[in-house]
Amino acid sequence: MTETPAGAGAPRWSAPCGTVIGRHDGPVDRATGIRYARAGRYERPQPAAAASSPVHATEPAPACPQPPMPFLDEIVGSNIGDLPQDEDCLRLSVTVPAGTPADASLPVMVWIHGGSYAAGGGDAPFYDPAALVAEQHVVVVSVTYRLGLLGFLGNGEDIPANLGLLDIVAALRWVRENIAAFGGDPGSVTAFGQSAGGDAVAHLMVVPQARGLFRRAIIQSAPFGLLRGRARMSALMAATAAPLARDAPLEQVRAVQQRVAQAAVRHGLKGQMPFGLQYGHDPLPAEAELDTAWREAAPHVEVLVGHTTREAALFTARIPPLLSRMQHPRRARRVERLLITPFTRRLYGRGAERFAQRHAQAGGTGYRYEFSWGVGRNPVAGAHISELPLLFPGHDVWERTPLVEGHTWEQVLSDGARLRRAWADFARGGTPRSDPRAGLRVLPLTGAASSR
């Protein structure tokens, strides 16, 4: 794409947050790195005041400081690409179809990135929403929020818990107040996210401060099987981090975050995603009240909830002996039967089905989906994050990853267009349809339990 730097011909928006100057980028216009809130270390986010001078929104939002995550780096080349890291990271980016007028009232999709609540950034290159925006004529807002020790380990006493979730609520408030100036409809907002991002979207439904800030939710591969019974692990992690000074330099924060994560390993599967939301701390209900809260929220939010059919393949492929077996058809069937299928069901599938069933029983509407694109083409096809190359096919990002092996890039783009259409149809209030070429199976929600 050809980008135009900020200047006389650059796109300009007059919003309550101030005058925003962005840049043209081929078929889309972008305003990147806009501040939506401010917060000191371990402080709750406070809305950003309107800017008195023009905001030059041409640089990406910095990622929250984070230690390396070699596992994701191996799959996608680099977890955050060349993004800078900055503790002052409460920023968002808006992508709109080029030339969108302020009165367009387009559907708005707010992207919450994943990364186990410990890694990633809203403007990471493999979340580029340009194709989704240009093809489907929607507005996408990409949110960056605090992670790890800085966002998800407070004990609720001297350090608040769930700061990263409060950041996302602040971003949604910014969207409600400002997005009309960019051509978006503040009454038609869909929150969507994958993995930890999907988990955050699901829990935003029960956050009182978020009620009415979004109308629809797309919950992709939320690790429902890891959510309950985390209080003891969180307490151990907080105790491990306690000696860290509140004003410790970031390198020390990163080092302690790695030690904290290691301390959680003794808690089994939950310890593989040690950072996360803490129930009973603002803004979340107690764990025992969670089902009731989701039932009460169901009539207010339409959902599309689901998972990939081989989520666990991404994690088994990390283990060289298992990866070797996955590359041989006869041995692969055994790995599939003993590991991939049961762990996919335990950590993702069963929880998604229960979420959908409870939502329907409580008067909510929506759909459940399964994603299986590419299964049979390579060992990690249909694995965790495998829908992301189709949703966000940024140039020179996914082409060399194992997730798309066995396909030409033209197939990724054309099949992805079908998935992007399904997601956007839902965001428009329409019906997302099953599409074999996109590996997508969609079912309307019912109160009946799955027979699978």
- Residues 160, 119 contacting (CB under 8 angstroms): no
Whether residue 1 has pLDDT greater than 50: no
H or E stretch including 191?
A: strand 184-194
What is the structure's pLDDT at 452?
43
pLDDT (average), residues 25-43? 97
Whether residue 449 has pLDDT greater than 60: no
Does residue 120 sit in helix, strand or coil? coil
Over residues 281-291, the pLDDT tens digits come to: 999 999 999 99
User: Which residues are the active-site residues?
Assistant: 195, 311, 384
| φ/ψ (deg, to 5) at 404 | -110, 10
Helices (H) and strands (E) in the chain, counts: 15, 16
Whether residue 7 has pLDDT greater than 90: no
Over residues 165-180, the pLDDT tens digits come to: 999 999 999 999 999 9
Question: Among 424, 391, 347, which Cα is nearest to 116's?
Answer: 347
Q: What is the DSSP letter of 142?
A: E
- The owner of tokens 């207010």 is 300
What is the structure's pLDDT at 26?
96
| φ/ψ (deg, to 5) at 348 | -130, -55
Does residue 51 sit in helix, strand or coil? coil
Question: Roughly how many angstroms between the first and final C-alpha of the chain, as a whole number?
Answer: 45
What is the structure's pLDDT at 111?
98
- The owner of tokens 């041989």 is 328
The residues with which 370 forms a beta bridge, in sequence order, are 307, 441
Instruction: Report how far residue 248's alpha carbon sits from residue 163's, in angstroms, rounded to the nearest whole number.
Output: 18
Half-sphere exposure of 369 (CA within 13 A, CB side): 31
pLDDT (average), residues 257-261? 94
Enter the CATH code of domain 19-444.
Answer: 3.40.50.1820
Instruction: Report how far residue 36's alpha carbon sits from residue 196's, in angstroms, rounded to the nearest whole number.
Output: 21
| φ/ψ (deg, to 5) at 47 | -55, 140
Instruction: Report how far residue 408's alpha carbon sits from residue 397's, in angstroms, rounded to the nearest whole number.
Output: 14
What is the structure's pLDDT at 2?
42
What is the structure's pLDDT at 53?
97
Using alpha carbons only, give the angle 155, 159, 160 rounded to the nearest 5 degrees: 80
Question: Among 267, 178, 165, which Cα is nearest to 226's?
Answer: 267
Higher pLDDT, 322 or 416: 416
H or E stretch including 335?
A: helix 329-335
Question: Among 305, 418, 451, 291, which Cα is nearest to 369's?
Answer: 305
Half-sphere exposure of 424 (CA within 13 A, CB side): 21
Instruction: Report how far residue 304's alpha carbon sits from residue 421's, in angstroms, rounded to the nearest whole number.
Output: 14
Over residues 344-400, the pLDDT tens digits come to: 999 999 999 999 999 999 999 999 999 999 998 888 899 999 999 999 998 788 998
Q: What dihedral angle (degrees, nearest 10) is formed by the CA atoms of 119, 121, 125, 128? A: 130
Domain locations in the chain as residue ranges: 19-444
Amino acid 40 reads: G
Over residues 328-360, the pLDDT tens digits come to: 666 677 778 788 899 999 999 999 999 999 999
Over residues 191-241, the pLDDT tens digits come to: 999 999 999 999 999 999 999 999 999 999 999 999 999 999 999 999 999
Confidence category of residue 404, pLDDT binned at 50, 70, 90: very high
What is the structure's pLDDT at 157?
85
Instruction: Report how far residue 17's alpha carbon sits from residue 14's, in angstroms, rounded to the nearest whole number.
Output: 8
Higher pLDDT, 156 or 194: 194
Average pLDDT, the chain: 92
What is the structure's pLDDT at 156?
83
- Residues 285, 293 contacting (CB under 8 angstroms): yes
The residues with which 220 forms a beta bridge, in sequence order, are 194, 306
Lowest-confidence region among 59-73, 85-99, 258-272, 404-418: 59-73
What is the structure's pLDDT at 335?
72
Higher pLDDT, 218 or 4: 218
Q: What is the DSSP letter of 419?
A: H
Does residue 85 sit in helix, strand or coil? strand
Is the peptide bond preceding residue 129 cis, with omega within 30 degrees of 0? no
418, burial (CB in 10 Å: exposed 0-12, middle 13-18, buried 19+): middle
% of the chain with per-residue pLDDT over 70: 92
Radius of gyration of the chain (CA): 21
Instruction: Report how far residue 381's alpha carbon sits from residue 313's, in angstroms, rounded to the nearest whole number.
Output: 8
